[in-house]
Amino acid sequence: MNATLKLTVKSGTQKGQVFDLPDGKATIGRGSTNDITLDNPTISKHHLLLNVQNGVVTAQDLGSTNGTFINGKKVTASTKLRPGDELQVGADITLTLHGVVDRTYVAAAPPPPKKKSMAGILALLGILLLAILLVGGYFLWQGMQVVAPTPTVAQATATATVPTLASVPTATLTPQSATASTASTAAPVRITFNADQSTLQFGDCARLFWSVDNAKDVRLDGKAVSNAGEREICPQKSGENHILTALSLDGNIEEATISLVILPTATPPPGVKVSFSTEQSTLDYGDCTTLRWQVENAQNVALNGQQVGYTGNQEVCPRETSNTYRLLISSTGNNVTEQTVVIRVRPTPLPAQATPTFTPLPPTSAPAAAAPVINQFIADSYSLQAGKCTLLHWSVSNARQVSLDSAPVANQGSQQICPAVSGSYVLTAVGSGGQTSHATVQLQVNSGGSVTTPPPVAGSGPYELKVGNQHRYEEPWGGDRGDPCEAWRTGNFDDKHPNFRGFNLELLLTNNSQAKVADTWGDDISFFTASGGEVKACFYGYGGAGPPPKATASVTFFTVVPQGDYVQVVQLDLGGYTIRLCLDGKGGSWECQP
């Protein structure tokens, strides 16, 4: 039965377009080499294969990015299409199949049974009668060999019963059914697909080799190739996949995939500058050090798999004997450079084995309970419009009881606050020994009108502000020492007030304007902590004074914050422009809205 098969575009930019489907194979995809080309960015270059045989259509996805669906069900293997089925490819293109003849092959009916002829029946009766006579004659002959009494007349009289037609068994001739011949199973596809090398340096090439048996169509990355061959591949990015697809003699599809990995180079490409170092390369067990890096003219930077800024530092406390930290830099042209820092940890010496003694130990008093520590108490937003809400977040350790504005809460958690007026929220932590710690968040509620703030201009205006090095000191610092800069210069720390810590921050100002920046630009910088307060800061070191046009100058600040708190926002007001940088307390920073 001949039928015209058509594929109609039901949705998408080519809606209404109709494609004829003759017997054979037809590929669908975005590339111009396909039998059916659909111009849509969500469709893969070689997306789908249709196989038409005797009016039966099957669909097979060719490893597309967004998949193929039939009536909403994803195609994972060769799947049969029926009249009216909807075929979805990509994100917004639907195709409908028309005129498909779904052929089912029915075995031929058995021929009618042949009529029994009379001649055949008589011949069968004759054969049966002859057999009876022979058997009877044999037993009669055996009886004559035995001496027996003289038989009476009654005994000697034998009645020969002639069998009738009804008594003769009839051979039933069952007509043999005509069975459909079983189609021979096609030999399975055998694919050999390999590469002379699967890991390459950037710019190197590899050769792919393949050999396919029992296939009527072979494609490499969607393009038709011979059943055996080789090809040179020069990948431009790591993890590039190459797919060999084979169509078997019975219409099934088999695939093999090779992934090529580009190894990062140790030397950055021209124009890319990388500096990656550590303050100490050898540590005692339990000590920490700081990693520092600075990258220029790159697209992406990652430290041990985590994305970081182009310039930054991170404190690490390694515990293994040898610890490797990897900085991966991605630049234009898909080039990847790897820089490594190795930090070694001295093994902890085993204590000398002392001779055991039996001197009883004097009774000791129980150690003093540790004071509760409020590690964090911050708000998502410290300035709100009336009727708006924000979230408070806190984390407390060494506490048996924690309360927020006298209401018990967990040691760690978040709570939504919708204040009607400006005010403060107090977090109180009580330790097992009765010690108490407090932290406060101050929220500002604006009663009417929107708060207008100057837009950030870093990178696009006359000035650009970046964070260089930052460091949190663990020496205890008292809040009653007066000016923090003077105390820092004199080393006058107060170990009686251990709940305060020093914070060190380097800022880099780039002048994109045509005029020199005043040497006092550091006086125009404000610091705000995560708890919502503003802290006083002083600068004690210049990398240069106010930068001239097209130059960068640095200034280093020092301030004091409560333990567990940190400087979260740095704001520079310079020449009518406001630039704000947000810090995460872990070494990261980014430009943010006021």
CA distance 260 to 262: 7
What is the band of 93 on the pLDDT scale with cuts at 50, 70, 90?
A: confident
Run of H or E including 131: helix 118-144
CA distance 98 to 416: 57
- Average of pLDDT values for 408-435? 88
Nearest-10 Cα torsion for 507, 510, 514, 517: 10
- Average of pLDDT values for 486-507? 62
| Residue 493: predicted pLDDT | 53
- Average of pLDDT values for 484-513? 66
CA 61, 62, 63, 65 torsion-angle sign: negative
User: Could you tell me what percent of the chain has a pLDDT over 90?
Assistant: 9
Pick the more confident residue, 480 or 80: 80
Pick the more confident residue, 207 or 95: 207
Helix, strand, or coil here: 301? strand
| Residue 44: predicted pLDDT | 85
Pick the more confident residue, 209 or 335: 209
Q: Which of 209-213, 429-433, 505-509 has the lowest mean pLDDT?
A: 505-509
| Residue 424: predicted pLDDT | 85
- Average of pLDDT values for 376-393? 81
The length of the chain, given as a count of residues: 594
Pick the more confident residue, 234 or 585: 234
- Helical spans, DSSP H, in 458-535: 484-490
Q: Give me the numbers of helices (H) and strands (E) for the chain, helices first please.
A: 3, 44
What is the band of 153 on the pLDDT scale with cuts at 50, 70, 90?
A: very low
| Residue 244: predicted pLDDT | 93
Run of H or E including 501: strand 500-511
* DSSP secondary structure string for all residues of 560-586: EEETT--EEEEEEEETTEEEEEEE-SS
| Residue 540: predicted pLDDT | 54
| Residue 354: predicted pLDDT | 53
pLDDT in tens, 552-563: 887 777 777 776
SS3 labels along 169-226: CCCCCCCCCCCCCCCCCCCCCEEEEEECCCEEECCCCEEEEEEEECEEEEEECCEEEC
Pick the more confident residue, 232 or 537: 232
Most confident among 263-272, 323-332, 538-547 (mean pLDDT): 323-332
- Average of pLDDT values for 383-389? 80
pLDDT in tens, 154-202: 333 333 333 333 333 333 333 333 333 444 567 888 999 998 888 777 7
- Average of pLDDT values for 539-564? 72
- Whether the pLDDT of residue 249 is over 60: the answer is yes
What is the band of 292 on the pLDDT scale with cuts at 50, 70, 90?
A: very high
Q: CA-CA distances (angstroms) from residue 476 to 333, 436, 493, 494?
A: 49, 18, 7, 6
Cβ–Cβ under 8 Å, residues 394 and 405:
no
CA distance 68 to 78: 11
- Whether the pLDDT of residue 263 is over 50: the answer is yes
| Residue 566: predicted pLDDT | 76
Q: Which of 141-155, 233-247, 341-355, 478-492 has the lowest mean pLDDT?
A: 141-155
> In the chain, what's the furthest Cα-to-Cα distance?
159
- For 380-460, strand residue ranges (E) read 383-385, 390-397, 401-404, 407-409, 412-417, 423-430, 436-446
Q: CA-CA distances (angstroms) from residue 297 to 1, 237, 462, 551?
A: 67, 19, 21, 17
| Residue 175: predicted pLDDT | 37
pLDDT in tens, 31-54: 888 888 888 888 888 888 888 888
Q: Output the pTM of the full model.
A: 0.27
- Whether the pLDDT of residue 213 is over 90: the answer is yes
What is the band of 119 on the pLDDT scale with cuts at 50, 70, 90?
A: low
- Average of pLDDT values for 455-468? 61
- Whether the pLDDT of residue 302 is over 70: the answer is yes
Please give the structure tokens belonging to residue 176: 């043999």
| Residue 334: predicted pLDDT | 64
| Residue 180: predicted pLDDT | 38
- Whether the pLDDT of residue 95 is over 50: the answer is yes
| Residue 225: predicted pLDDT | 92
Most confident among 44-53, 89-98, 223-232, 260-269 (mean pLDDT): 223-232
The mean of the pLDDT values for the chain is 75
Please give the structure tokens belonging to residue 409: 């809460």
* DSSP secondary structure string for all residues of 134-182: HHHHHHHHHHHTS--PPPPHHHH----PPPPTTTSPPPP-PPPP-PPPP
- Whether the pLDDT of residue 146 is over 50: the answer is no
| Residue 120: predicted pLDDT | 64
CA distance 29 to 45: 5
Q: CA-CA distances (angstroms) from residue 361 to 356, 358, 364, 578?
A: 13, 9, 8, 66
User: Could you tell me what percent of the chain has a pLDDT over 70?
Assistant: 72
- Which residues are CB-contacts of 153 (< 8 A; sequence separation ≥ 6)? none
- Whether the pLDDT of residue 79 is over 70: the answer is yes
* DSSP secondary structure string for all residues of 239-265: TEEEEEEEEETTS-EEEEEEEEEEEPB
- Whether the pLDDT of residue 87 is over 80: the answer is yes
What is the band of 386 on the pLDDT scale with cuts at 50, 70, 90?
A: confident
- Average of pLDDT values for 404-418? 89
- Average of pLDDT values for 312-323? 88
What is the band of 367 on the pLDDT scale with cuts at 50, 70, 90?
A: low
What is the band of 211 on the pLDDT scale with cuts at 50, 70, 90?
A: very high
